[in-house]
Amino acid sequence: MFRIENIQSTIENAIELIDSKNGTKARINLSYGASIDELVFNNIKVITNLKPLDHKKTYPSSILFPFANRIKEGKYAYEGQNYNLDCNEKEANNALHGLVYDKTFTVEEKKNLMTR
């Protein structure tokens, strides 16, 4: 069975999904676009946190939505409509890595899940 734990401190807001029986754990950082800070599967670490690197510069495991690369000057057109995005890669004047990489997520509901 997966156990759900809240991890909250002055520097971190995360949840962990843990299945000790199968050696599986996922730590989801709610402060940085619900990025996966750590993933262990069958006791093998698949994803690890990049600390001390800054999330704002590395975008580790972030949800890159609705684009995963750069948009020059943050300008684009879609179906005849022009759009401007914030340029978060200041030195190159690009919009970089989507719109949710730095957003705070909240957990609305939790349910413990039985594994098969």
Domain total of the chain: 1
The pTM for the full model equals 0.72
pLDDT, residue 58, reads 74
Q: Which domain holds residue 12?
A: 3-96
| Rounded mean pLDDT, 88-116 | 79
Residue 110 lies in a domain: no
Residue 111 belongs to a domain: no
Q: What's the token pair of residue 55?
A: 């999330």
User: How buried is residue 8: exposed, middle or buried, by Cβ count under 10 Å (0-12/13-18/19+)?
Assistant: exposed
If you average pLDDT over residues 88-112, what whole number do you get?
83
| C-alpha span between 13 and 65 (Å, rounded) | 21
32-53 confidence digits (pLDDT tens): 888 888 999 999 999 988 777 7
Residue 80 is assigned to a structural domain of this protein = yes
